Amino acid sequence: MKKIIIAAALLGSIFQAGAQEKKNSAIPLQYGAQYSGKRTDDAMNKWRSNRFGQFIHWGLYAIPGGVWNGKTYNYAAEFLKASANVPSATWDSLMYQFNPVKFDAKQWAKMAKKMGVKYMTITTKHHEGFCLWPSKYTDFSVAGSPYKKDILKQLVEAYNAEGIDVNFYYSVLDWHHPDWRNDIKSPQDSVAFKRYLDFAYNQLKELATNYPTVKAFWFDGTWDNSVKKNGKWTYEVEKMLKEVSPGVIVNSRLRADDYGKRHKDSNGQLMGDYESGYERRLPDPVTDTAVTRWDWEACMTIPENQWGYHKDWTVSHVKSPLELLEMLVHTTSMGGNFLLNFGPTGNGDFRKEELDIATVIGNWMGKYGDAIWNCDYAGMKKEDWGYYTKKKNSNQLNMVVFNWPSSGLLKVRTPRGMVLDKASFVDAKGNALKVEEIADNQYLIQVPVKLYTSPQVIQVDFHQGATNGKYQKAKT
């Protein structure tokens, strides 16, 4: 009962704010953004503090792994059905081969824990329509495979046991379901697609009900006209999920408004609880700082564009651990979450490249994760040497240095009223670095000129105050 009261109150506050917002908006909308600004409830604060997540794309596509009838298809492996033009009946029969004998949810969760992620997003159902849980609304699921068991249940339990939140990816686009339509071009299309939307609504309610510890829903496959013409359905799904699972978080990619506008409504207001348009790209740290005004998440592949398991990673550039680490720091520095993708094989294990990346990033996070977790945009101008992050509710500024100036001098420009006090390497707290104010709100921090093999973190303490207008003596 208590949960229902809390839910009603939470919903009331969110939708009440939205009602106020709607009054002032230029275009009256019924299915647009339900509120403006960042959510500040505990669930969203936790989502925001997580910062680093593991994306997992796993389904029948992992079995062929980008190869069909002996031919390697370079496009995204989870699109092989389309790339290789595989008849649906043939593709769907892969269900009878799904038996991941190496799958061990606890082992996956331990690897994720060591990597330093605080959340994991799993594809419950990708575009192919195969469900990793025994849904009562379709036979096209693990229940119909030799494996039989509920994969989502095992993953939720194993990851939650490691203190890692679990979020569910759900593709509205469904190549398997007979009532799916890319567009609505006839009354028959309308009737069929209504049946599909009811099916998807029921599956989502089933997921939110049966896996109550799930913290967020990551929608995808909503770009077709059929969905854009059903903004009301997307609004109702968001509302239902927040009633069934109070505090649950929904990405902008679910939502279309009354006029089919996606992500941001016809008044430019972000829909859902965070912006999820950054896919395999990041906002520019100098020109795109507007993104710091709302919550957002970037999702990233290790190869150029493979979400599902692909047998041959030589077909494109494979990002190094350092490249991916810089993306994680870059994202945190702009107040976003970074969701790094892994594509397990059909047998349920990870390829060596992924395991190596998880180890290297995990080693760095083990030493410097405090500059990522619960950190945010510092509101400072980006410098060439790297990125700033700021610990929430603290006077702790982190400088994550990737590029070392041959002078050994790191330039820092502070906002008016921010005065630097002292600085030291995180793993050499006792050795204060020289901090010299060279002009109002301009400092130089002296570091030893040496070759650093990985990005280093300098922790800077500061206070709010007025600079005295003169250049203070160099502080040591």
Binding footprint of ligand GYZ on the chain (CB under 6 A): 76, 78, 220, 223, 277, 279, 299, 307
Side-by-side strand order, sheet with 442-446: 409-413, 442-446, 435-439
Residue with smaller CB distance to ligand GYZ, 45 or 305: 305
Q: How far is CA 241 from CA 5, 153, 168, 247, 275, in A?
A: 15, 19, 12, 9, 18
> Which residue, 78 or 376, is less far from ligand GYZ as judged by CB?
78
Cβ neighbours for 382, distance < 8 A, ≥ 6 positions apart: 285, 286, 333, 388
The 3-state DSSP class for residue 386 equals: strand
Nearest approach, Cβ of residue 79 and ligand GYZ (Å): 7
C-alpha dist (Å) from residue 176 to 36, 99, 399: 37, 20, 49
Residue 228: CB minimum distance to ligand GYZ, A = 11
**Of 98 and 307, CB closest to ligand GYZ:** 307
**Please, which residue, 238 or 437, has the CB nearer to ligand GYZ?**
238
Shortest Cβ 78–ligand GYZ spacing (Å): 5
Residue whose CB is less far from ligand GYZ, 222 or 374: 222
Spatial contact of 169 and 122, defined as CB atoms under 8 Å apart:
yes
- Least distance from ligand GYZ to the Cβ atom of residue 258, Å: 19
CB of 437 to ligand GYZ, least distance (A): 43
286, with CB counted inside 10 A (0-12, 13-18, 19+), is exposed
Q: How far is the CB of 371 from ligand GYZ (least distance, A)?
A: 27
Shortest distance (Å) from residue 165 CB to ligand GYZ: 18
**Closest approach of Cβ 87 to ligand GYZ, in Å?**
20
Residue 48 has which token pair?
A: 């925001």
Phi first, then psi: what are they for 390, rounded to 5°? -130, 130
User: Which one, 253 or 330, has the nearer CB to ligand GYZ?
Assistant: 253
Indicate the residue among 61 and 404 with the shorter CB distance to ligand GYZ: 61
Sign of CA dihedral 288, 292, 295, 296: positive
Report, in angstroms and rounded to the nearest whole number, the Rg of the chain calculated over CA atoms: 24
Q: In terms of CB distance, is 29 or 227 closer to ligand GYZ?
A: 227
CA dihedral 404, 410, 416, 417 (to 10 degrees): 120
CA angle 130, 250, 115 (to 5 degrees): 75
